[in-house]
């Protein structure tokens, strides 16, 4: 290793340590911290963010990258890819003042606590001034970059490198009419029964069952843990410290199981990254869409499949005998896949989920280009819910306040959820060609071969390949909704006898 490369890795390691320390504080804020700690926590996050930003954007890093890009021009090598990704990140970070990073951290910490209070009281007015400030900062962030085809391109690129707003609109434009057609067919079919899912289930037993499932998937509790938080998420501080959070919902008690599977999918990705990438720009998943493809795969294509419950249902029924008395495995399978327009995105069924995302994408684009006034969001949200799903939220907690993302200034994020659904189906078709008896393995509770396929084809590469490139590399095409439509149509035609 050259002296210059060694020096670059040393700096990247220090920046990584600072960012991971900030992530620990962010995890603690949502899991353990008392509400009154928000202001101090914001200052702490601001300090770490500012130091990391200053260290990463130092002129020395620029000089090292300029020299190393000539020396390591082969981007197929690990070092060449690391330098390419670092150079891209450096160019973006160099445009953003450290003072701005610090300000955003302070504002975000206060906004999160305001969101928690606003959601608990179902009162958007509590969150309004904080969200207005966050959006103001997002627009300021956009101004640091050269004009793009659309202001939203700059935000989207942070989460989905290389993706354009026009790309996402085209993908969704092709998908939406096909999903609407499927939803209309389902609406005219006999509805499945699912009242037993909303009975009272013991929280501790549900939690324990969720951990049993993700342990089977391969989540290593020696390298992670599951804690309670207002909104489920995954966060990693190293390849050997990858944590998830979850929640228990009284009105949807078994949602805990699927949230655990979802966050476990994210965690398995991070746990599977090549350890040699630690403390470098390759150390995490390549994009949020690819990340979501992993979480949605484990949650839906595995966790909501009939073979999966043919294995796990007998034990679940034994654990909750009174709640599931007289319920067959096939009826349970149909119930957990019931298609019905609902208010809460994270609990939405697969056939309606993308509608939630398309709604949010339209709103985010409007916030980014200024065509939407923040104070009008509750009304806009409710109008779009009626348009997209035919239902109107009864209150702000059911509607505009349900997601945590905007409290942290994470605008540009949501489309990656639907893109992840699409990619998961593309990958699933390829996996089933490579693992001919996958359903039978799942039916026996065996997930090792599936997990190792994902690790070998995706996880181990971390951020080495851009998202479209890795999808092309594995499936032979870029992100395309055709496989996803096939998957949804087959699944729900069987469930609803279409």
Domains of the chain, by residue range, sit at: 3-146, 165-496
Model confidence over 120-141: pLDDT tens digits? 999 999 999 999 999 999 999 9
Q: State which fold the 165-496 domain adopts.
A: 1.10.1370
Q: Is 54 a catalytic residue?
A: no
Which candidate, 486, 496, 472, 463, places its Cα nearest to that of 301? 486
**pTM listed for this prediction:** 0.90
Band (480; pLDDT cuts 50, 70, 90): very high
Band (22; pLDDT cuts 50, 70, 90): very high
**Confidence (pLDDT) at 75:** 83
Alpha-helical runs (H) found in 122-245 = 124-143, 151-159, 165-187, 203-217
Average pLDDT of the chain is 95
Residue 1 has pLDDT above 80, yes or no: no
- Measured distance CA(451)–CA(443) in Å, rounded: 15
**Confidence (pLDDT) at 209:** 98
**Confidence (pLDDT) at 196:** 96
Model confidence over 313-342: pLDDT tens digits? 999 999 999 999 999 999 999 999 999 999
Q: Say whether 236 sits in a helix, a strand or coil.
A: strand
8 Å CB contact between 264 and 217: yes
Measured CA angle at 376 (ends 372, 377), to 5 deg: 80
Model confidence over 159-181: pLDDT tens digits? 998 899 999 999 999 999 999 89
**Confidence (pLDDT) at 101:** 87
Residue with tokens 């998937």: 217
Helix (H) or strand (E) holding 100: helix 98-121
Token code pair at residue 334: 């149909």
**Confidence (pLDDT) at 346:** 80
Please compute, for residue 410, the number of CA atoms within 13 A of its CA located in the half-sphere on the CB side: 14
Choosing from 263, 292, 299, 350, which is the catalytic residue?
263
Token code pair at residue 24: 């620990």
Model confidence over 450-461: pLDDT tens digits? 999 999 999 999
% of the chain at pLDDT higher than 70: 100
- Measured distance CA(64)–CA(295) in Å, rounded: 36
Model confidence over 41-65: pLDDT tens digits? 989 998 999 999 999 999 999 999 9
């Amino acid at each position: 290793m050259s002296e210059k490369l060694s020096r670059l890795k040393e700096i990247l390691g220090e920046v990584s340590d600072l960012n991971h320390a900030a992530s620990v504080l962010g995890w603690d804020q949502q899991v353990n911290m008392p509400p009154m700690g928000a202001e101090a926590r914001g200052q702490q996050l601001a300090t770490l963010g500012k130091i990391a930003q200053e260290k990463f954007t130092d002129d020395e890093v620029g000089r090292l990258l300029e020299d190393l890009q000539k020396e390591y021009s082969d981007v197929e090598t690990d070092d060449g890819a690391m330098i390419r990704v670092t150079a891209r990140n450096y160019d973006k970070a160099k445009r953003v003042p450290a003072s701005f990073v610090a300000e955003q951290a302070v504002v975000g910490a206060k906004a999160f606590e305001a969101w928690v209070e606003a959601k608990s009281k179902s009162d958007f007015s509590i969150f309004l001034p904080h969200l207005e400030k966050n959006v103001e900062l997002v627009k300021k962030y956009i101004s640091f970059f050269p004009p793009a085809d659309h202001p939203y391109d700059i935000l989207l690129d942070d989460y989905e490198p290389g993706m354009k707003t026009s790309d996402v609109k085209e993908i969704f434009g092709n998908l939406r009419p096909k999903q609407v057609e499927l939803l209309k067919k389902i609406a005219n079919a006999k509805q499945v029964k699912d009242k037993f899912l909303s009975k009272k289930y013991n929280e501790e037993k549900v939690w324990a069952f969720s951990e049993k499932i993700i342990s089977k998937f391969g989540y290593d509790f020696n390298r992670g843990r599951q804690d309670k938080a207002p909104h489920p998420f995954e966060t990693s501080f190293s390849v050997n410290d990858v944590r998830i959070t979850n929640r228990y919902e009284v009105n949807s008690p078994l949602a805990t199981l699927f949230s655990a599977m979802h966050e476990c999918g994210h965690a398995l990705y991070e746990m599977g990254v090549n350890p040699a990438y630690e403390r470098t720009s390759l150390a995490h998943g390549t994009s949020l869409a690819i990340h979501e493809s992993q979480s949605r795969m484990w949650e839906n294509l595995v966790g909501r499949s009939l073979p999966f419950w043919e294995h796990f249902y007998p034990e679940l029924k034994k654990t909750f005998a009174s709640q599931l008395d007289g319920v067959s495995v096939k009826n349970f399978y149909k119930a957990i896949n019931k298609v019905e327009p609902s208010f809460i995105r994270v609990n939405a069924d697969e056939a309606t989920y993308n509608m939630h995302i398309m709604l949010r994408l339209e709103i985010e684009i409007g916030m980014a280009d200024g065509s939407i006034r923040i104070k009008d969001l509750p009304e806009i949200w409710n109008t779009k819910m009626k348009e997209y799903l035919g239902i109107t939220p009864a209150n702000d907690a059911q509607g505009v306040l349900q997601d945590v993302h905007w409290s942290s200034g994470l605008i540009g994020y949501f489309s990656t959820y639907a893109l992840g659904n699409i990619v998961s189906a593309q990958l699933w078709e390829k996996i089933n060609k490579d693992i001919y008896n996958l359903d039978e393995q799942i039916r026996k509770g065996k997930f090792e071969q599936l997990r190792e396929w994902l690790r070998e084809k995706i996880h181990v590469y971390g951020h080495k390949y851009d998202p479209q490139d890795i999808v092309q590399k594995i499936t032979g095409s870029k992100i395309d909704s055709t496989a996803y439509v096939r998957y949804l149509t087959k699944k729900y035609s069987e469930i609803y006898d279409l």
